[in-house]
């Protein structure tokens, strides 16, 4: 009996001992567990005392290495010796000189890049902005410089909050250290952090930020931007005037090599266009009346990373396509949707923000999926009506591909909002956009009797190179798609055949002034260039080489047959 009692006591003691150990373990691990892993926390979480000391030391070390005034006024900055060499290496790895960024003050002062006359506008908006900055594995100093620039350049009464959205970064410094920085260095500012547990891609990450925003206006920024003086006022004022206006600042370049803030002068800027391959492009302002304007200018599309939109309007007009993954396409989707469904997109010349343009993505994508292609296929199906044919000529593999996903909701949205057709958009918003098979004299393959076709030889759309000759493909591929435009250009989307030195034929940017870019297609199939009084010829041209112009004669080498001829133009 006694023995039994002693044994029981021992068991009790053991149990209690184990219990105590478990409790201790729980307490210890909860101390050390990074708080941000626990939840999609909306307020940055308090950093524990132990970690505080570590972070404080890290930040002090970091701050002591900052070189005062480096990069001030947005001037190019340079480091010497090993730092310079490390910077070069970093540039290759991150597409950004991270070494330099880490040594530059986080609150560097930029010069005012605006046109002087912008100061004459007396903006006095009553609206407040929620600035939403999304990031995935960005450099901490670059993210913080973005935050600082917003704080320094936005009057307090116009700034409701800054919302940082961490799209499940794996970079350690963006976790507790960032929280600690905000808690200690930017305590008095309203900054929230949304921590996403599993990477959502930039589209859904922006949505997460928008969901908790409380300001009247949402302003989205990439996490490597610097706002400049007076950037917010004209955006908010314009939205106050018209809540359906979605606005883009002039996006200046922060050089990835030396962090210089560089502009294209203070009057010239471009607006957004698109290519049929589904990419955003910069285009010149077409209408004379809009050139050199300082008030908002119509823009057919936007780049996507930096824009302001009234918060309720953002939701009313369909926010984003939540089924878009990763990166890309959402900018054109939103651009088309805004115009087609009753809003407008404008560039605001008196608002300027710098953006670090990187040569490549310093991050990888889960599953290596072509999210840009898939997302663009989605938007093509929903918004582009029959004009999607051009996109799918570039991406035939995506046309009937289930990978594109279900589109029911987006199509319903388009109906619900009674959005206009894509043709309306082209006619009214972007009339200068070249449509390869509309209002043209001829289009398709231009073939000779020897089954050889004009071919761009895979020349990039912004490059200059020979107008080539290649075996005709059995189907109409984009590389062999040429048109004779109403203006008499022999062209592709943005490049036109031009005669050089009276002999050579090159594809080069269409300039619209005709001369050596002017061609006449005769009934007998000859393509004549009046400026040099010669005809396009394939005589003696090898497969994959450039065609030329020669004196016109009745020759099989000078006869071209287009797939389609339009007699009505």
Q: Which stretch binds ligand LR7 (CB under 6 A): 65-73, 198-206, 256-264, 311-319?
A: 198-206
The two structure tokens encoding residue 173: 């410094």
306 binds ligand LR7 (CB under 6 A): yes
Q: Which stretch binds ligand LR7 (CB under 6 A): 128-136, 239-247, 259-267, 440-448?
A: 128-136
62 binds ligand LR7 (CB under 6 A): no
331 binds, among ligand LR7, Mn ion, none (CB under 5 to 8 A by kind): ligand LR7
Q: Are 246 and 165 in contact (CB under 8 A)?
A: no
Tokens matching residue 371:
């999210």
Distance of closest approach, residue 166 Cβ to ligand LR7, in angstroms: 8
Residue in the structure block whose two tokens are 């040569």: 359
Report the site for Mn ion in 42-101 (rule: CB under 5 A).
none
> Could you tell me which residues come within 8 angstroms of residue 18 by beta carbon, excluding any fewer than 6 positions away?
none
User: Of 95 and 152, which CB lies nearer to ligand LR7 in the complex structure?
Assistant: 95
Residue 443 neighbours by CB under 8 Å, 6+ apart: 436, 437, 481, 482, 483, 484, 562, 563, 564, 566
Task: Select 78 or 365, whichever has its Cβ closest to ligand LR7.
Answer: 365
**Nearest-approach distance from CB 564 to ligand LR7, in angstroms:** 34
* Contact call for residue 320 and ligand LR7 (CB under 6 A): no
In angstroms, rounded to a whole number, what is the distance separating the alpha carbons of residues 447 and 424? 34
Number of neighbours of residue 315 by Cβ within 10 angstroms: 13
Should residue 205 be labelled a site residue for ligand LR7 when binding is judged by CB under 6 A? yes
- How many positions of this chain bind Mn ion (CB under 5 A)? 1
H or E element that contains 272: strand 271-274
Within 10 A of 2 (CB to CB), how many other CB atoms are there?
6
Handedness of CA 510, 513, 516, 518 (dihedral sign): positive
Nearer to Mn ion, 138 or 498 (CB): 138
Residue 456 lies near Mn ion (rule: CB under 5 A): no
Q: Please state, in angstroms and rounded to a whole number, the distance separating the CA atoms of residues 435 and 80.
A: 52
What is the Cβ-side half-sphere exposure of residue 174, based on CA atoms within 13 angstroms? 22
Contact 562, 483 (CB under 8 A): no
CB of 191: closest distance to ligand LR7 in angstroms?
Answer: 16
- Two tokens at 3? 């023995």
Candidates 120-128, 216-224, 507-515, 532-540; binding stretch for Mn ion (CB under 5 A): 216-224
Tell me, residue by residue from 152 to 191, as one string, x for binding to ligand LR7 by CB under 6 A and - for no binding. ---------------x------------------------
Residues 522-551 that bind ligand LR7 (CB under 6 A): none
Q: Pick from 300, 128, 309, 137: which is nearest to 207 by CA? A: 309
**Which of 223, 239, 338, 348 contacts ligand LR7 by CB under 6 A?**
223
Picked from ligand LR7, Mn ion, none, the partner binding residue 327 (CB below 5 to 8 A depending on kind) is ligand LR7
Q: Which two tokens stand for residue 340?
A: 């087609």
Q: How many residues bind ligand LR7 (CB under 6 A)?
A: 24
Q: Report how far residue 159's alpha carbon sits from residue 114's, in angstroms, rounded to the nearest whole number.
A: 21
Shortest Å distance, C-beta 492 to ligand LR7: 22
Q: Which residues of 437-449 are buried (b: 16+ CB within 10 A; e: fewer)?
A: eeebbbbbbbbbe
Q: Does 94 bind ligand LR7 (CB under 6 A)?
A: no
Distance CA 301, CA 305 (A): 12
Q: Is 147 a binder of ligand LR7 (CB under 6 A)? A: no
Is there binding between residue 222 and Mn ion (CB under 5 A)? yes
Tally Cβ neighbours within 10 Å of residue 467: 26
- Residue 222 in contact with ligand LR7, rule: CB under 6 A: yes
Q: What's the CA gap between 286 and 271, in Å, rounded? A: 10
> Which residue number, 251 or 549, has a Cβ lying nearer to ligand LR7?
251
Q: Is 305 in the site for ligand LR7 (CB under 6 A)?
A: yes
CB 168 within 8 A of CB 197: yes
Q: Which stretch binds ligand LR7 (CB under 6 A): 21-29, 102-110, 320-328, 441-449?
A: 320-328
Selected range binding ligand LR7 among 39-47, 51-59, 98-106, 201-209, rule: CB under 6 A: 201-209
The interface partner of residue 150, options being ligand LR7, Mn ion, none and the CB cut-off 5 to 8 Å by kind, is none
Query: Contact between 201 and ligand LR7 (CB under 6 A)?
Result: yes
Q: Which stretch binds Mn ion (CB under 5 A): 65-73, 74-82, 126-134, 220-228?
A: 220-228
CB of 366 to ligand LR7, least distance (A): 8
Query: Judged by CB under 6 A, does residue 197 bind ligand LR7?
Result: no
Contact positions with ligand LR7 (CB under 6 A) in 339-378: 355, 361
Cβ distance to ligand LR7 smaller for residue 30 or 170: 170
Quick one: tokens of 210?
Answer: 């928008």
Q: Say how far apart CA 334 and CA 378 lie, in whole Å.
A: 12
Nearest C-alpha neighbor of 261 from the set 168, 149, 427:
149
CA angle 69, 70, 76 (to 5 degrees): 130
Distance of CA 375 to the CA centre of its chain: 13
Q: Which of 55, 94, 135, 391 binds ligand LR7 (CB under 6 A)?
A: 135
What is the DSSP-derived secondary structure letter of residue 478? Answer: G
CB of 90 to ligand LR7, least distance (A): 17
**If you compute the radius of gyration of the chain from its CA atoms, what whole number of angstroms results?**
29
Contact call for residue 493 and Mn ion (CB under 5 A) = no
* 251 vs 536 by CB, closer to Mn ion: 251
Q: Which is nearer to ligand LR7, 233 or 333 (CB)?
A: 333
Which one of Mn ion, ligand LR7, none is in contact with 227 (Cβ closer than 5 to 8 A by kind)?
none
CB within 8 Å of 481: residues ≥ 6 apart: 393, 436, 443, 444, 445, 492
- Contact positions vs Mn ion (CB under 5 A): 222
- Contact positions vs ligand LR7 (CB under 6 A): 134-136, 138, 167, 199, 201-202, 205, 222-223, 251, 280, 303-306, 326-328, 330-331, 355, 361
């Amino acid at each position: 009996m006694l023995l039994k009692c002693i044994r029981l006591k021992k068991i009790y003691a053991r149990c209690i001992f184990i219990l105590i150990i478990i409790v201790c373990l729980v307490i210890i691990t909860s101390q050390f567990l990074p708080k941000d892993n626990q939840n999609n926390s909306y307020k940055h979480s308090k950093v524990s005392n132990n970690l505080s000391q570590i972070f404080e030391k890290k930040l002090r070390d970091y701050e002591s290495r900052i070189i005062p005034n480096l990069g001030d006024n947005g001037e190019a900055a340079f480091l010497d010796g090993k730092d310079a060499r490390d910077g070069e290496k970093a540039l290759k790895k991150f597409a950004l000189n991270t070494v330099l960024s880490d040594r530059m003050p986080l609150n560097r002062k930029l010069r005012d890049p605006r046109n002087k006359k912008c100061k004459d506008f007396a903006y006095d908006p009553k609206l407040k902005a929620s600035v939403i900055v999304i990031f995935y594995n960005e450099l901490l100093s670059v993210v913080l410089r973005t935050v600082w620039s917003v704080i320094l350049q936005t009057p307090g009464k116009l700034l409701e909050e800054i919302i940082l959205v961490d799209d499940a970064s794996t970079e350690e410094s963006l976790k507790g250290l960032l929280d600690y920085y905000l808690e200690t260095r930017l305590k008095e500012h309203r900054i929230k952090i949304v921590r996403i547990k599993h990477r959502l891609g930039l589209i859904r990450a922006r949505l997460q930020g928008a969901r908790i925003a409380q300001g009247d206006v949402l302003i989205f920024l990439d996490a490597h931007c610097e706002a400049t003086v007076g950037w917010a006022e004209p955006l908010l004022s314009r939205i106050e005037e018209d809540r359906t206006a979605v606005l883009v600042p002039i996006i200046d370049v922060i050089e990835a090599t030396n962090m210089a803030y560089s502009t294209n002068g203070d009057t010239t800027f471009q607006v957004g266009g698109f290519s049929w391959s589904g990419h955003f492009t910069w285009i010149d302002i077409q209408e004379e009346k809009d050139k050199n304007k300082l008030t908002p200018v119509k823009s057919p599309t936007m780049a996507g990373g930096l824009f302001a939109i009234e918060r309720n309007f953002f939701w009313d007009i369909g926010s984003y396509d939540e089924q878009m993954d990763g990166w890309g396409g959402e900018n054109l989707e939103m651009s088309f949707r805004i115009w087609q469904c009753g809003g407008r997109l404008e560039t605001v010349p008196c608002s300027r923000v710098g953006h670090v343009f990187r040569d490549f993505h310093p991050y990888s994508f889960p599953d290596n999926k072509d999210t840009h292609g898939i997302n663009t296929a989605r938007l093509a199906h929903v918004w582009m009506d029959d004009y999607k044919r051009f996109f799918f000529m570039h991406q035939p593999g995506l046309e009937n591909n289930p990978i594109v996903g279900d589109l029911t909701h987006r199509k319903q949205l388009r109906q619900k909002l009674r959005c206009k057709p894509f043709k309306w958009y082209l006619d009214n918003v972007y009339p200068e956009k070249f449509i390869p098979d509309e209002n043209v004299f001829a289009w398709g393959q231009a073939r000779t009797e020897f089954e050889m076709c004009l071919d761009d030889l895979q020349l990039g759309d912004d490059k200059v190179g020979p107008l080539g000759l290649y075996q005709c493909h059995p189907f109409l591929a984009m590389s062999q798609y040429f048109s004779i435009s109403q203006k008499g250009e022999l062209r592709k989307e943005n490049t036109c055949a031009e005669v050089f030195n009276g002999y050579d034929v090159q594809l080069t940017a269409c300039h619209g002034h005709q001369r050596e870019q002017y061609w006449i297609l005769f009934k007998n199939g000859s393509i004549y260039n009046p400026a040099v009084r010669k005809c396009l010829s394939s005589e003696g041209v090898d497969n994959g080489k450039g065609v030329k112009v020669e004196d016109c004669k009745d020759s099989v080498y000078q006869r071209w047959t287009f797939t389609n001829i339009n007699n009505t133009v």
